[in-house]
Amino acid sequence: MKITVSTSSVPMMIENLKELKAGILTKEKLHKTLLHKDYQVEFARYNQEGMPLSMIPMEEYEEYLLNCLNLEEDQVENPRLRMRHKELVEFINSIESFNINVLDKLNANPKVLQVVESNLKNGLDDRGFNSLKELNIISTIGIGNSFGYPYENFIHFDAMRMQKFISDEDSLIAFISHETHHVLMNNIFSEIKFESPLDYFITSFSFEGLAVKFNNNATGTLSKVMYPDRNVNVALDGDTWDFLEDDFEFMMKHLKNDIKRIKDENISMEDVQNFLNEYWMTPNAISEATGKTMNILHYRLYYMGNEIFGTLYDYYGKEELFKIIRNPSSIIEKFNAVTDEKYHLL
């Protein structure tokens, strides 16, 4: 697999933000920066059809960024821009402290990418791993709320957040391999013919679930850690993971109810996506175990996906796991076969 790294837009935007703070940034200069090829990938991703929450048109972002220092959070209309408004303003106000783009370390230490490749080989079958010949890793001062994401044969990382959250080489490896795993899983998903809304619903949990299993060494209630001799929950937010772990039994109950409704009622694909968005993929969560309210950094989908598909890996191994994923109507039966009756999904 050929891997390229692009970070050239970052110093351009840092200069823009310093000028914004000083009150001298022009719309023309900002517009030129946002025409950079890496930002064009960002806008393409955030404006693709079916994007949840909201899109981020380039013209809207230009206007927002030029005025963001004069806006309160509740004055920001776009939900995605509002979610990261406070963080962005704090970053701009302390812009002088930004000293290095973490991804620049990749060019200085190619061994990091070797470990990434090893993690991916361990976390995908041969067919999935070999489905991508070239990967483009890009980094910008991100326009939206996502820390990292896959899009086509790109993975993007927000340089602003990487400096804040990636503290060591293990975290860097985990982030890159996690997002690259998504790119390859997208290729696998493109081959799957979903026969029913239930097949689509349950398979959706594999995307983030296996990414944290294989690349973040995630702990679980049922699922075992992938690498017992390594640090666990690497580059995962500890408070979020504890929150999700405490709520496991309640999430399992919710999952069973969703599965039963999808199976018994006339539930459309659109309804299934609403199920995912409203509970499994919302950052705003109230713990049923403790009553605590939290803005979780990893959706419930991550944790429960690790429980379902991480457990399938633990019992069946890698090759059989991906056969099951490619035959989604077998997932529930295979999971029930290796778990206690109280955890049976149907």
Is the predicted pLDDT of residue 165 greater than 90, yes or no?
A: no
Distance (Å, whole) CA 71 – CA 74: 8
216: CB partners within 8 A, 6+ apart = 174, 178, 233, 234, 235, 236
Kindly state the average pLDDT of the residues 278-307.
95
CA distances from 277 to 199, 256, 272, 281 (A): 17, 17, 9, 5
pLDDT digit string, tens, across residues 299-313 = 999 999 999 999 999
pLDDT digit string, tens, across residues 105-143 = 666 677 888 888 899 999 999 999 998 888 899 999 999
337: CB partners within 8 A, 6+ apart = none
Q: Which pLDDT value is given to residue 212? A: 98
3 state DSSP class of 186: helix
List the beta strands (DSSP E) in the chain: 2-6, 134-140, 148-151, 154-158, 284-286, 293-295
Alpha helices in 109-168 (DSSP H): 111-122, 126-129, 159-165
User: pLDDT band at 164, cuts 50/70/90?
Assistant: confident
Q: Which amino acid is at 95?
A: I
Q: Are 219 and 245 in contact (CB under 8 A)?
A: yes
Q: Are 286 and 293 in contact (CB under 8 A)?
A: yes
The pTM (predicted TM-score) of the whole model is 0.80
Q: Which pLDDT value is given to residue 107? A: 64
Q: Going by DSSP bridges, is the β-strand pair 284-286/293-295 parallel, antiparallel, or unpaired?
A: antiparallel
Q: Which pLDDT value is given to residue 320? A: 98
Which letter does DSSP use for residue 212 in this model?
H
Q: Per mean pLDDT, which range of 18-32, 120-134, 230-244 is the poorest?
A: 120-134
Q: Are 156 and 149 in contact (CB under 8 A)?
A: yes
Q: Which of 133, 138, 160, 141 is nearest to 149 (CA)?
A: 138
Q: Which amino acid is at 316?
A: Y
Distance (Å, whole) CA 159 – CA 195: 40
